[in-house]
Every structure is written in structure tokens, then in C-alpha cells.
């Protein structure tokens, strides 16, 4: 039993570290995220200990990962991505529209229109819950579907990519560490994240640091990276935070609804893979990076997977960010138009 004189989140951190270490020893991709995620879910589901989230842990993890993603942006890669903007735009739009299949599955199962729609949109959990609340959705179902989608993608996609592709081929990644530049980027990124949060924008602790690091990296053509171990700390904090959304009650709640959510997620992943293959035929963009960028997962998780497998992090991030923008700006107008046209 954990020491009751200590806050329970200490046990969360230790369990997550144990799971991450074991996963790293067996060679699992994203070991510190996936290992901590599975270990904490196992404890919360199989024991009475309902481990609590580390205070602000996921925000800190996103902050670290956001800086790391931003430092991958170089003028050459941005020029390549900008040169294929139309294809990237079309790919992100297609993966957004593929969520229609999820809506159809849930509607056939008897879910109300708002719940089926916002549970199926591949956006962030918090953003979709907020939009669902404004439109009369069942919020517990929306939150459950969004969390399960991210969980399924995080567990399946990195493993499948590593199994099929190995470790990939290095693509001009940042190398050396510059403590002077990091000392400038770190506090500035915290300030931008706080401002982004105050403005109630999505994913402030990921986008704020990402924008700061990418802007400074591009302006100075820095080609630097985070120190060794920083990415693993970010993985551990994000995995530990995500795991605390799951327990026995979660998986017992409406099992048929969860199964249909998994089916819809699998279908979206297949559509994303097919669309990436078609887009790769019309461009010189890397098929592996296109496929990963079009997966219906979270931006931090998919960009981390790209970094681990040595794929193009900026391309994956650009696709993920564009899809999120489509969902945030189009989801609610599309839903209200659907309601009007169906009486």
C-alpha cells in the first residue's frame, strides 16, 4: 500500500516510471508514454487504488514536448511542407470528413444526434466536450469516446509503425543542445502558453511552446534539440495524465458504445492510411510521415511517434494541426446545418 501520509499522485508517478522502464527494456515504441499509461490503467482497474493525476503534470509534459516539436522546424522542411500545402489541406480535410462513419455507427445504435456527432469528431477531448455541451450532447459519452480514441491510437499506431517500418531513416533532425537558446525559449514559451490559456485557445501548453520554439528555430536556423532525457520526461508525464481518465467503471460503462467507438476509430485509421498512399503518389512527401500525420490521434502523441521513428516531425505536426483547426472551426456549423436540414 502507498504511504497515506503522502499525496496519492506520488504513487502515480512511481507506477508510471516503473511501467515506462519495463516498456523501454522490452523495446516498445514510445516506452515512457505507453508503459506509464498501461501500468497506471492496470493499477486503477485491477486494484482499489484510484491513482490521481500529477498536478499540472500533463501540462508540463506538453510544454516539454511542444518545445521539442518546435525545434524540429527548419527552413528546408517548412519550404517542403509549404510547397505541398494543397495536398496537406486536402488530406487533413479528408480525415476530418471520415468521422462521418463514426456518426453513422453511433446513430444506428440509437445515440442522439449531438452525442453521436461530437463523440466522433477527431478533435481534442476538452474542445469536443465544450462544443457538445453547447449543443445538448451527453457529455460523459463524448468524453469517453474521445479518450478511448486517443488511447487506441497511442497503443496501436506506434507499435504497428515500428513493426512494419523498423526505426525509420533519419531525416535532418536537430542535434546539439544549446543551453543559451533553451534558457530564452523556456520562459518565453511559458508566458505564451499562459496567454494562450487565458484566451481559452485549444491545447495552450502544447501550441504555445511549439509556436515559440518553431519561430525562434526558424528565425535563427538553430538546428538544436532538447537535452537527453527531456523527451522521456514529457512522455512519462503525458502518459500518466492520460491514464487517470480510465478505471473499471469506464470500461463497464456502455460497452456496446465503446466497441462502436473502437470500430469507428479503426475505420478512420484505414481511411487515413489509404488517403496517405494516394497523396504520396501525387507528391514527393514521405508516405510514412503522411500516414502518421493523418491518423486520428493527438498532436503530441503522433509527433512523438514521428520523432521516435525518425520521420518528418514538422510534416506530421502540420497535418495534425490542420485537422484540429478543421474540426474546431467546422464541427459546430456542420452540426447545426445538419440539424436544420433534418428538421
pLDDT, one tens digit per residue, over 272-287 is 999 999 988 888 788 8
pLDDT, one tens digit per residue, over 154-194 is 889 888 887 776 655 544 455 688 999 999 999 999 999 99
Domain hosting 96: range is 71-179+191-225+245-341
Q: Give residue 3's pLDDT band: very low, low, confident or very high (50, 70, 90).
A: very low
- N- to C-terminal Cα separation, the chain: 57
Q: How far apart are CA 149 and CA 266, in angstroms?
A: 9
Residue 57 maps to a domain: no
The answer to whether 303 and 316 are in contact (CB under 8 A) is yes
The tally of domains found in the chain comes to: 1
Residue 9 maps to a domain: no
Round the average pLDDT of the chain to a whole number and report it: 88
3-state secondary structure of 225: coil
Residue 59 maps to a domain: no
The answer to whether 14 and 240 are in contact (CB under 8 A) is no
What's this model's pTM, rounded to 2 decimal places? 0.85
Residue 331 maps to a domain: yes
Q: CB-based contacts of 132: which residues, under 8 Å, 6+ apart?
A: 114, 115, 118, 119, 138, 139, 142
Amino acid at each position: 500500500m502507498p504511504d497515506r501520509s503522502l499525496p496519492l499522485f506520488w504513487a502515480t508517478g512511481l507506477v508510471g516510471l516503473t511501467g515506462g522502464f519495463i516498456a523501454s527494456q522490452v523495446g516498445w515504441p514510445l516506452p515512457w508514454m505507453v508503459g506509464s499509461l498501461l501500468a497506471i490503467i492496470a493499477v486503477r482497474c485491477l486494484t482499489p487504488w484510484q491513482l490521481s493525476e500529477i498536478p499540472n503534470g500533463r501540462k508540463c509534459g506538453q510544454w516539454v514536448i511542444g518545445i521539442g516539436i518546435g525545434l524540429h522546424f527548419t527552413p528546408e522542411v517548412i519550404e517542403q511542407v509549404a510547397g505541398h500545402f494543397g495536398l496537406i489541406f486536402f488530406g487533413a480535410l479528408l480525415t476530418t470528413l471520415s468521422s462521418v462513419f463514426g456518426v453513422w455507427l453511433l446513430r444506428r445504435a440509437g445515440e442522439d444526434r449531438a452525442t453521436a456527432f461530437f463523440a466522433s469528431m477527431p478533435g481534442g477531448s476538452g474542445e469536443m466536450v465544450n462544443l457538445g455541451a453547447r449543443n445538448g450532447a451527453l457529455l460523459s459519452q463524448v468524453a469517453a469516446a474521445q479518450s478511448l480514441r486517443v488511447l487506441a491510437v497511442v497503443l496501436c499506431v506506434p507499435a504497428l509503425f515500428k513493426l512494419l517500418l523498423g526505426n525509420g531513416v533519419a531525416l535532418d533532425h536537430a542535434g546539439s543542445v544549446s543551453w543559451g537558446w533553451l534558457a530564452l525559449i523556456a520562459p518565453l514559451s511559458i508566458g505564451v502558453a499562459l496567454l494562450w490559456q487565458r484566451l481559452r485557445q485549444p491545447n495552450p501548453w502544447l501550441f504555445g511552446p511549439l509556436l515559440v520554439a518553431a519561430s525562434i528555430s526558424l528565425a535563427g536556423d538553430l538546428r538544436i534539440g532538447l537535452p537527453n532525457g527531456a523527451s522521456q520526461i514529457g512522455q512519462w508525464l503525458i502518459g500518466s495524465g492520460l491514464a487517470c481518465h480510465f478505471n473499471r467503471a469506464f470500461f463497464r460503462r456502455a460497452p456496446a458504445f465503446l466497441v462502436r467507438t473502437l470500430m469507428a476509430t479503426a475505420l478512420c485509421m484505414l481511411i487515413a492510411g489509404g488517403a496517405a498512399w494516394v497523396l504520396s503518389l501525387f507528391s514527393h512527401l514521405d508516405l510514412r510521415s503522411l500516414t502518421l500525420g493523418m491518423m486520428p490521434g493527438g498532436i503530441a502523441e503522433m509527433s512523438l511517434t514521428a520523432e521516435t521513428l525518425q520521420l518528418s516531425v514538422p510534416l506530421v505536426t502540420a497535418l495534425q494541426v490542420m485537422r484540429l483547426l478543421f474540426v474546431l472551426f467546422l464541427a459546430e456549423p456542420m452540426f447545426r446545418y445538419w440539424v436544420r436540414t433534418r428538421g
